[in-house]
Amino acid sequence: MAQSEVQEESEKKGLNFVEEEVFNDLKAGKNGGRLSTRFPPEPNGYLHIGHAKAICMDFGVAEKFGGTCNLRFDDTNPVKEDVEYVDSIREDIHWLGFDWGNREYYASDYFPQLFDLAVRLIKEGKAYVDDQTSEEIAAQKGTPGTPGQESPYRNRSVEENLDLFMRMNAGEFDEGARVLRAKIDMASPNMHFRDPIMYRIIKTPHHRTGTTWKVYPMYDFAHGQSDYFEGVTHSICTLEFVVHRPLYEYFVKELADESYCPRQIEFNRLNLTYTVMSKRKLLQLVKEGLVAGWDDPRMPTISGMRRRGYTPQSIRNFIDTIGYTKYEALNSISLLEHAVRDDLNRVATRGMAVVNPLKVVITNYPEDKVETVTMENNPEDPESGVHEMPFSRTIFIERDDFMENPPKKFFRLAPGTEVRLKGAYIIKCDEVVKDSEGNIVELRCSYDPDTLSGMAGAARKVKGTLHWVSAQHAVDAEVRLYDRLFDVENPAAETERDFREMLNPESLVVVQGVKVEPFIARNAEAGAKFQFQRVGYFTPDADSTPEHLVFNRTIALKDTWEKVQKKS
C-alpha cells in the first residue's frame, strides 16, 4: 500500500496500540511495506471467545491496512490434536466473518525445514542432545535469581549429537529418553534462555504426517520459524508470550536478515467472569459429561455461542468495546450479554410464546369464532413487515401474569381487573377456577369487543399489556433456559475448590409444554432469531425438529442476574 494511503487510513480510524505499531512499521517501509499476520490455533480443542479476540485482531489489522492473514494450525503435538478440531476451527472463523483465502497452513508443513535448521544448529555447536529426564532438566533450571546448572551432556561432540538426534527421529529411543536442547546460557536472567528444549520424542502418529516423524518441535522452536517460512511480518499474540519474545527473536535471527524479519507484538488476553477460558478445563467439562459437548450453549466456545443464538456481530461488537491493552483484566460477561441483546433487538423477529401457560376462557366470545390480528415482525426494522396471529375464545397467558391477591403496583391480571392482550382486545378477569387442591387451573374472563385496533375503543387505556397465544392454534415446544455456567465470578482464581464444584446447578432449566404461536413454529429454522415478547430472545436448537420443537433461550430481555444474586 502506498504511504499516502497508509497515512490516510490511520487518520480516518482510531487505532489500537497494536495497529499503531503496525502502521508505524508500514510507514517506515519495513519488510518492503508488506503486512502479513497469522492466526495460529493449536487444533487441540474448539475455539472460545478468547480466540475470537485474537481472530478479530489478526484478521482485523490485516483488513484495515490491506494486508493478509494466514490460518496456521500449530499442530506440533499429535497426542492432543485431532481433525475434528481443525474442522471446527475453520467453521468458527468463517462464521465470525473472516476468511484466509487459500492461505491455510500447518506447522507440520515446516517439519522438514525445522529439522534441517536443528541439524544446522547442532553442526554449529548451538544445540545438543540431553539424556536426562524432564524432571532432572527442570531441577537444574535454577530460579530467576540464581543461575541454573549445566547438563552433564552439554559438551557432547557435534558427531555424537548428530548421531543421537538422527536416532531419536528413527524411533530408537523411548519417549522422554532424550531431548534436543539449544545451547544458550544456563545463567541467563531470562529463564527461557536456559538451554530450552527444541525437540522431544513422541511416538503417537500425527494426524497429517503419520509416522514420518518421531521427534516434534516445541512451541518456541516452531512458532517464530513458521512465521518466517510463511513471510509473516507481524506475529500478534497474547501477553504470556512477552517473556518468550527474546527466544523468538533468537531463533528467528538464525534465518532472517534486515530485508525481512517477523516481529512479535503482544496484547492482553480476554478473560470473562462466570466462565473459564482454559482449553484443558473446557475439555474436562466435555469429557466428563458435565456439559453436552463443545457446542453446549453454556460453553464460552464460539460453537456454543452460535448454538445458543449469539450473532457474530454481537461478539465482534463486544470485542470492539473491550479493546486491546497491555494489561491483564477480567471482563464482565454482562458486557457481552449487553452486546448480544443490542444486536438481537435489531434483528430478532417478534412473536408470542407462553412459557408457563395458564388457560383463559373468554366467556362472551363466540365458541367457534376465530379472528386474525396483525403483529409487527420487528419495530426496529421497518422492512420486516407483519404477520397474522389467530385469536379465539380460549387462550393461554403466562401464569406469572396473574395474581389472585396482587400487591399494590401489580398492573397485570387479577380478579376484577383489566389488561390488554397485546395486539388484541382488553379483557377482564371475572372468575378464578381451582382444582380440588386449590391450584388455579383456569381464569374466566370477558372481553370488550370494541377494543381491537381500528375500533372505537382501541385507544382505551389499561395499565398492563400481556402476551398470549390462542389455545387451539398454539404449538407445543420445549424451551431450554440457560444461565451462567459457573456461580462464582472468577472460577480460575479460586484456589480452595476444584473448578467443577463451582458449576452453577441452575445453568440449564428445561421447560416442556411451552405454547408458541403458529408463526414461530412455521419459521423455526436453524439460525432463526426470535424475540418471544416480554420473555426473551430465543433460537431453535440443533435438536429441534418440526415434530418436537426445541428453543434455546439466548438471553433474557433484561439482565436479571443482580436480582437473582440478591434473592439467594
Smallest distance from ligand ATP to CB 47, Å? 8
135-143: Cβ within 8 A, 24+ apart:
137/179, 137/181, 137/197, 140/186, 141/191, 141/194, 142/186, 142/187, 142/191, 142/194
- 488 burial (CB, 10 Å; 0-12 / 13-18 / 19+) is middle
Q: CB 88 → ligand ATP: shortest distance, Å?
A: 12
How far is it, in rounded angstroms, from Cα 246 to Cα 255?
15
Is residue 304 close enough to count as binding ligand ATP by CB under 6 A? no
316 binds ligand ATP (CB under 6 A): no
Check residue 78 for interaction with ligand ATP (CB under 6 A).
no
Task: Report if residue 90 touches ligand ATP, rule: CB under 6 A.
Answer: no
73 closest CA partner among 208, 211, 184, 187: 208
Binding-site string for ligand ATP from residue 209 to residue 228, where x marks contact by CB under 6 A and - marks none: --------------------
Determine, following the binding rule CB under 6 A, whether residue 53 of this chain makes contact with ligand ATP: yes
Q: Which residue's C-beta sits nearest to ligand ATP?
A: 50
Q: Other C-beta atoms within 10 Å of 226: how many?
A: 27
Applying CB under 6 A, the span of 44-52, 145-153, 184-192, 377-385 interacting with ligand ATP comes to 44-52
Q: Considering only 47-55, 113-121, 328-336, 458-466, which stretch makes contact with ligand ATP by CB under 6 A?
A: 47-55
Instruction: Give the interface size with ligand ATP as a residue count (CB under 6 A).
Output: 14
| Part of the chain binding ligand ATP (CB under 6 A), chosen from 37-45, 106-114, 201-209, 244-252 | 37-45
With binding defined as CB under 6 A, does residue 200 bind ligand ATP? no
Q: Measuring CA to CA, how many Å separate 536 from each of 331, 339, 384, 556?
A: 24, 14, 19, 4
Toward ligand ATP, which CB reaches closer, 114 or 282? 282
Q: Can you say whether the dihedral through the CA atoms of 237, 243, 247, 253 is positive or negative?
A: positive
Q: Which three cell numbers stand for residue 219?
A: 512451541
What is the phi/psi pair of residue 281, to 5°? -70, -40
Q: Does 42 bind ligand ATP (CB under 6 A)?
A: yes
CB of 221 to ligand ATP, least distance (A): 15
Three-class SS state of 455: coil
Smallest separation (angstroms) from ligand ATP to the CB of 371: 54
Residues 247-286 as x/- pattern, contact with ligand ATP by CB under 6 A: ----------------------xx------x-x-------
Does the footprint of ligand ATP cover residue 237 (CB under 6 A)? Answer: yes
534 sits near ligand ATP (criterion: CB under 6 A): no
Q: Does 164 engage in binding with ligand ATP (CB under 6 A)?
A: no
Q: How far apart are CA 494 and CA 165, in angstroms?
A: 43
Of 42 and 478, CB closest to ligand ATP: 42
CA 510 to chain centre: 23
Contact in structure between 265 and 241 (CB atoms under 8 Å): no
| By the rule CB under 6 A, 56 interacts with ligand ATP | no
Q: Of 43 and 423, which has the nearer Cβ to ligand ATP?
A: 43
Cβ-based nearer residue to ligand ATP, 272 or 503: 272
Return the range that interacts with ligand ATP (CB under 6 A); candidates 51-59, 159-167, 181-189, 297-305.
51-59
What residues form DSSP beta bridges with 518? none
Residues contacting 41, CB < 8 A, separation 6+? 47, 51, 73, 74, 89
Please tell me whether residue 44 binds ligand ATP under the rule CB under 6 A: yes
Find the part of the chain contacting ligand ATP (CB under 6 A) among 38-46, 383-391, 446-454, 527-535.
38-46
Identify the DSSP state of 374.
E
Beta-carbon contacts of 431 under 8 Å, excluding residues fewer than 6 positions away, are 415, 443, 444
Residue 480 binds to ligand ATP (criterion: CB under 6 A): no
What positions carry a catalytic annotation?
A: 42, 269, 279
- Residue span binding ligand ATP (CB under 6 A) among the ranges 34-42, 201-209, 242-250, 402-410: 34-42
Parallel/antiparallel/unpaired status of strands 508-516 and 426-434: unpaired
The stretch among 36-44, 253-261, 370-378, 487-495 that binds ligand ATP (CB under 6 A) is 36-44
Minimum distance of ligand ATP from residue 89's CB (angstroms): 8
Half-sphere exposure of 159 (CA within 13 A, CB side): 0
Exposure string (b/e) for 26-47, b if CB count within 10 Å is 16 or more? Answer: beeebbebbbbbbbbbbbbbbb
Provide DSSP, 196-255.
-EEEEE--SPBTTTBTS-SEEE-HHHHHHHHHHHHT-SEEEEEGGGGGGHHHHHHHHTTT
Q: Is 72 in the site for ligand ATP (CB under 6 A)?
A: no
Query: 171-208: buried (b, 16+ CB within 10 Å) or exposed (e) per residue?
Result: eebeeeebbbbbbbebebeeebbbbbbbbbbbeeebbb
Based on CB atoms, which residue is closest to ligand ATP, 80 or 126? 80
**Binding of ligand ATP at residue 181 (CB under 6 A)?**
no
- Out of 50, 78, 196, 300, the only residue in the binding site for ligand ATP (CB under 6 A) is 50
> Which listed residue (41, 300, 351, 491) binds ligand ATP by CB under 6 A?
41
**Which residues make up the interface to ligand ATP (CB under 6 A)?**
40-42, 44, 50-51, 53-54, 237-238, 269-270, 277, 279
